[in-house]
Structure formats: structure tokens, C-alpha cells
Amino acid sequence: MMGDPAGGDVLVLNVGSSSIKCVVFDAALHEVLRGGVDGIGHHAALRMGALRQPVTAPDHGAALSALLKALEAQGIAMTSLRVAGHRVVHGGPNLAAPARVTPAVRAEIARCAPLAPLHNPHNLAAMEALARLTPDLPQVACFDTGFHASIPEVAQRYALPPDCAEAGIRRFGFHGLSYAGLVARLESLAGGLLDRVLAFHLGNGASACAILRGQSVATTMGYSPTDGLTMGTRCGSIDPNAVLRLAEERGVEGARDLLNNRAGLAGLSGGISDMRALEESACPEAVFAIDHFTYWAGRHAGSLISAMEGLEAVVFTGGIGENSARVRAAILDGLRWAGVSFEADRNARNAPRLHGDDASVTAWVIPAEEERVIARAALDLVQA
Ligand code: ADP
């Protein structure tokens, strides 16, 4: 497999707490190859195309160097890369637009680390390791929070004194790269920019967003990606006094672990966080977990429709949003009051267009394309 001989490939890196995923695009943004390393720290494994093998990767730097070696073995020379783009979960209050990775940008990402302790430090480690391995390769950071910079202050602020907001205790919102890609794709599918779009990104993490004339005006995730909808293992919205009681009874770390890793669908069902597995189960707890997921998606949707004062289109993306006809049908049925309708056969086929010809509110499935959004932004920045 060959990269672009003109030297125009883009390497996109999505770095998590114990994994690095990578996608290579050519200059025309066609996907060339994808791979990754999981289990960094212990039992690391490398995937690249059809290849699967254990690797020694005690840290993110070692994982990245294994990944680059595997790319070279597949014919993607480091010299063929034009730019690397990173998905960065948190840009904090100051980083919204994609940015060239400079010492100042790295310092700002480091300053946001307390806001995303499981993500930002690993993003920085990958940027530093890549700079050591390929010093001449420009790097660009793209922020999952950035799309939500347009949210008005009244929707951003918690009802807390100003010093809390200044310290970063405010709503940020996440899944922004997914929503940005969805807006662009919907515009071409619908033949123009729609005014009022309710978008659901439903994966292991799940959120919904009110998008007014292409801009985010409200979203369900807040200070962290734990707020809002019921998720795979995260609790979604919960009373702060319930959190305080859990912290008192189980300690802060115990409460953090419960709310982030053992709650949501997994907490309700007795351990199953995977929607497909829940759908295959007939046990009442699994059925209840799915009902909880779709009920709360609908409850939050009502609030988002109010924030943009109406609704023209509903869009689903993410692993559940793209593949679960049952979840989509339940959420869309719950929105009939808002003028939503859909064709059952189109929904069963995961068709991009779910609505009938006379629908007043349209409904769509659009695959998440975060990596392509990052690749485009990275290329645009180095070509500017
Ligand atoms: P992440 O948020 O980790 O990127 P994904 O967007 O890949 O996750 O979504 C994973 C979720 O999508 C899982 O709950 C999985 O069960 C669900 N999913 C994938 N395919 C299907 C399917 N055919 N039916 C129902 N759920 C599915």
C-alpha cells in the first residue's frame, strides 16, 4: 500500500488513556490505512490493516514508535506525510479552532489537563513523542470542545459565583468534531444548510446537540463528558447532592469510578454497557436499560429543541446512532409531538434518509467522521 508520492498524506492520531488509533488519508482525503495500539502499559497489541500482533509498549511514546514502524512497513514513509492532526478532547476556554502545535499551544493544552485528566496528558505525550520521532512534521491539534464555543453564556454557565466559572467550572460540551462533520455532510445531503438541527452522537459516550444555522447553541455534556444522556458506563445527569453523598460514603475515587465506569447502561443492566449485547438480551434489566437510554435522550431533546426554538431535522451518528434501528425508532417516536416522523423500512436499513416525502421534520443517519474532519483541518492549516 502506498501513500501519496507527492508527499501529501495526513496522519490523524486519536490518543486515549491506554490506546492510540491512527488513520492515514491522502491529500484528496481518501482513507489510505487505519490501525492502532491497544493495551498500552501491559499486553499491548498492534492492529494495522489485516495485521494483529503483540507489541512492547510500556508508554505512549513506545506505542507511537511501534505504530510509525508499522506504517512504514505498509509503505507509508514518514517523509510522505505532510502533517499530523491530533484529536484533543479538551481545549478549555481558550482553544477552539484547530491550531498548529507550538510550545504555546502545548502549554495551553497542559493548562487544561485538570479538565480532562484522562486525555490531555496523553495527547501531549503523543505530540512530544511525534516531535522527537519526526521533528520536521507539522502537527495540528483539533479540539472536541471547539464546536461548542458558540454556545451563549446563559447556556454555558452553571448557577455558581463568577470565580467558579473563571476556574473552569462551566459547561464545555464534547463530540464537537463529530458534530462539525455532521453539519457539513447534512448540508450536502439536504441540499442546503438547515436552520434547526437536533443531532445525537450515540456511542459508548453519548450526547445530543442543538445546532442553529450550523452553530452549537446547547449540548447535553457539560463540564465533563459524564453529564447529560445515559451512556455505556457513565451516569449522565445526576443531582449534585447525590454525587456528594456517594463521595462521602465511597471516597472521591470510589464515586468517580462508579459514576464514570460502572454506571449508565452497565449500571442499570448488571454489567452490560454494549447496546448490541443489550438488544440481544431478553432480561428485564437489559430492556429497562434501553428504555432508560431512549427516554432520557427524548427528555434532553425537549430541552435542546426549546434552546433553538424549533426543529427542522433530527440526525443520528455514532455506533448506536448509525446501527440501532430500535434505539432510533424509540427516540423518534418520542419526538412525534415535535412534528417528527420516519419510515420504518428506511430506519430498518440504516438509510441516510429516514423520513417520508411529506415529512415536516426530516430525519437522517450520518456516519461519524471525526478523523476526516481532523485531516481536513490539518491540511487547511498547513496549506494556509
Ligand atoms: P465509541 O463511543 O467508543 O467510539 P462507538 O461509536 O463505536 O463507540 O459505539 C459503540 C456502541 O455502538 C456500542 O454500544 C455498540 O454495541 C453499539 N453498536 C454498534 N453496532 C450496533 C448494532 N448493530 N446494533 C446496536 N448497537 C450497535
What is the pLDDT, as a whole number, of residue 114?
A: 86
Ligand 1 center–CA 70 separation, angstroms: 27
- Tell me what pLDDT residue 17 has: 83
Give residue 185's pLDDT band: very low, low, confident or very high (50, 70, 90): very high
Instruction: Indicate if the pLDDT at residue 72 is higher than 90.
Output: yes
pLDDT digits over 135-174, tens only? Answer: 999 999 999 999 999 999 999 999 999 999 999 999 999 9
2 confidence band (pLDDT: 50, 70, 90):
very low
pLDDT confidence of residue 277: 97
pLDDT at residue 3, as a whole number: 43
Per-residue DSSP letter, 222 = -
Q: What is the pLDDT of residue 7?
A: 54
What single letter denotes the amino acid at residue 86? Answer: H
pLDDT at 16 over 90: no
Return the ligand 1 atom nearest residue 321 CA: 12
Residue whose Cα lies nearest atom 26 of ligand 1: it is 276
Q: Rounded to the nearest whole angstrom, what is the distance from the C-alpha of residue 351 to the centroid of ligand 1?
A: 17
pLDDT in tens, 109-132: 999 988 888 789 999 999 999 999
Name residues whose C-beta falls within 8 Å of residue 364's C-beta, 6 or more positions apart in sequence.
186, 189, 190, 313, 314, 315, 316, 352, 353, 354, 355
Name the pLDDT band for 4 (thresholds 50, 70, 90): very low
Per-residue pLDDT at 119: 85
Q: What does the pLDDT read at residue 1?
A: 43
* Ligand 1 atom at minimum distance from 278 CA: 16
Over residues 100-111, mean pLDDT: 96
- Tell me the CA–centroid distance for residue 80 and ligand 1, in Å: 33
The rounded Å distance from CA 320 to ligand 1 centre is: 5
- DSSP β-bridge partners for residue 38: 45
Residues 268 and 294: their CA atoms lie apart, in Å, by 13
The mean pLDDT value for 363-374 works out to 97
Q: Give the pTM.
A: 0.94
Report which protein residue has its CA nearest ligand 1's atom 12. Answer: 319
E-state strands within 70-204: 81-88, 99-100, 139-143, 196-202
pLDDT-based confidence at 333, cuts 50/70/90? very high
Pocket (CB within 6 angstroms of ligand 1): 203-205, 232, 274-276, 279, 318-320, 323-324
CB 289: neighbour CB atoms within 10 A? Answer: 23
Chain mean pLDDT for the chain: 95
**What does the pLDDT read at residue 368?**
95
Q: Are 381 and 98 in contact (CB under 8 A)?
A: yes
Domains of the chain in sequence order:
9-143 (3.30.420.40), 191-370 (3.30.420.40)
Work out which ligand 1 atom sits closest to the CA atom of 265. Answer: 14
Average pLDDT over residues 6-12: 81
Tens of pLDDT, residue by residue over 27-42, are 999 999 999 999 998 8
Q: Has residue 244 got a pLDDT over 50?
A: yes
- Rounded to 5 degrees, φ, ψ at 217 are -120, -15
Ligand 1: nearest atom to the Cα of 368 = 6
**Range 247-264 burial, b when 16+ CB lie within 10 A, else e:** beeeeeeebeebbbeebb
Q: Is the pLDDT of residue 5 over 80?
A: no
Provide mean pLDDT across the span 286-299. Answer: 98
- How much is the pLDDT for 50? 86
Confidence of residue 373 (pLDDT cuts 50, 70, 90): very high
**Rounded distance from Cα 332 to ligand 1 centre (Å):** 18
Whole-number pLDDT of residue 116: 84
